[in-house]
Amino acid sequence: MRILAQAVASLGLEWSKQPAHNRLDGYFLPGERASPASRPAHFLPELHEEVAKSWNAPFSARMRSSVSLAFSAVDDAKNRGYHSLPPVEEAIAAHLCPPSAGRCAKLALPSKACRMTSTLLGHAFSAAGQAASALHTMSSQQIFQADLLRKLDENGPDAICVPNLRSATDLALRATKSAAQAIGRSMASLTVTERHLWLTLSEMSESERAAFLDAPLSPSGLFGTSVKDFAERFAEVQKASQAMKHFLPKRSSSAAGRTKPSAQSSQPQPPPTAATSQRRQARSARPRSRSSGRRPAPRGPRPRIAVKPEAPKLS
């Protein structure tokens, strides 16, 4: 804590106040509660800037930075499991998702929402692996620093040792910056994953979801300022739609007019009286003629009747 306090003072940083001493703990023996080492460390603004570089567009941010590649590339990192999530076993996929196991392509989850979640988790794991790779470079430089400091303590100042110590310190700081950027990308991917899980409960399209997923990160809320922006946009669209109704009314569909019941049919019919019911019964009791149900025969030319000539009379 003494060294940390000196470092904070030399950097001109603000540090939170140390908690007040409890007089019931005494003044000579160490107290039962935590020692001064429990005091939270200071906040370094430059480090936070590196962490939050991918927070403005967390969904479309690049997973690997070419600038920090030299500090996050480690030999045999892929075989050590630093690059991506371990693949699912074929036996597990065949048991839980038989259609996916029968394909020749890469095994994948059945639903689109699950595949999206798996992709986002893979991004978060890859960014965390880059941060772990940068720690290898950082640790190597710090070990080299400790060895150079030991030589300076034993043999005194050296014309070669001091420049090497300064170079190792700079490389360790750059590796720290690379690790901070990777950790920030991992935090961004995990936030986008949480947003995606909540957006699966809505009926939004993929393009509308992408705008919410790529909104800047904010510690005040999961979706940040995007909720206010989209609410204002929705209000503007509704206001414009109401204004269009005054000078550009929409035409009602003919199908809706045909299916709409008329006012007369919708009115209730009065109950039949006794005279009306008697007339209906008399009408139904009348015998129907046979010709009433027959169709009239078509009219055609009448056939001529042959007339037999009369025999002459004898006088």
Q: Give the rounded distance of the alpha carbon of 209 from its chain centre.
A: 6
pLDDT band for 263, please (50, 70, 90 cuts). very low
Measured in degrees and rounded to the nearest 5, phi and psi for residue 170 equal -65, -40
**Which domain-ending residue is among 164, 188, 213?**
213
For residue 28, being part of any structural domain is answered with no
Kindly tell me the burial class for residue 54, based on how many C-beta atoms sit within 10 Å of its own C-beta (0-12, 13-18, 19 or more).
buried
Residues 201 and 89 in one domain: yes
Helices assigned H by DSSP within 216-299? 226-247, 254-259, 263-266, 274-285
The secondary structure of 112-145 as a DSSP string is HHHHHHHHHHHHHHHHHHHHHHHHHHHHHHHHHH
Closest CA to 230 of 241, 242, 219, 238: 238
Residues 76 and 145 in one domain: yes
Tell me the residue type at 301. Answer: P
Residues 143 and 170 in one domain: yes
Residues 205 and 155 in one domain: yes
Question: Residue 149: pLDDT above 70?
Answer: yes
**Predicted pLDDT of residue 51:** 92
**Which domain-ending residue is among 213, 232, 249?**
213
Q: Give the rounded distance of the alpha carbon of 257 from its chain centre.
A: 42
Residues 145 and 10 in one domain: no
Residues 77 and 183 in one domain: yes
For residue 218, being part of any structural domain is answered with no
Residues 180 and 46 in one domain: no
pLDDT band for 315, please (50, 70, 90 cuts). very low
Domain around 88: 68-213
For residue 252, being part of any structural domain is answered with no
Question: Residue 116: pLDDT above 60?
Answer: yes
**Domain of 114: which CATH number?**
1.10.287.3160
DSSP-based three-state secondary structure for 42? coil
Residues 174 and 72 in one domain: yes
Tell me the residue type at 75. Answer: D
Please state the rounded mean pLDDT for residues 247-258.
Answer: 60
Q: Which two tokens stand for residue 177?
A: 């910056």
DSSP-based three-state secondary structure for 309? coil
Please state the rounded mean pLDDT for residues 115-140.
Answer: 92
Q: Which two tokens stand for residue 52?
A: 């939050």
Question: Residue 193: pLDDT above 60?
Answer: yes
Beta-bridge partner residues of 218:
221
**Which domain-ending residue is among 173, 192, 213?**
213
For residue 29, being part of any structural domain is answered with no
Residues 3 and 78 in one domain: no
Residues 103 and 41 in one domain: no
For residue 130, being part of any structural domain is answered with yes
Query: Of all residues in the chain, what percent carry a pLDDT higher than 70?
Result: 70
Number of domains comprising the chain: 2
pLDDT tens digits, one per residue of 44-97: 889 999 999 999 999 988 877 666 677 788 888 888 888 888 888 888 888 887
Tell me the residue type at 187. Answer: M
Residues 43 and 120 in one domain: no
For residue 109, being part of any structural domain is answered with yes
Distance CA 87, CA 128 (A): 17
Highest mean pLDDT among 67-81, 165-179, 218-232, 282-296: 165-179
Tell the residue number behind the tokens 């007019």, with chain if given. Answer: 257
For residue 278, being part of any structural domain is answered with no
Residues 112 and 195 in one domain: yes
Q: Which two tokens stand for residue 153?
A: 């303590």
Distance CA 192, CA 194 (A): 5
For residue 274, being part of any structural domain is answered with no
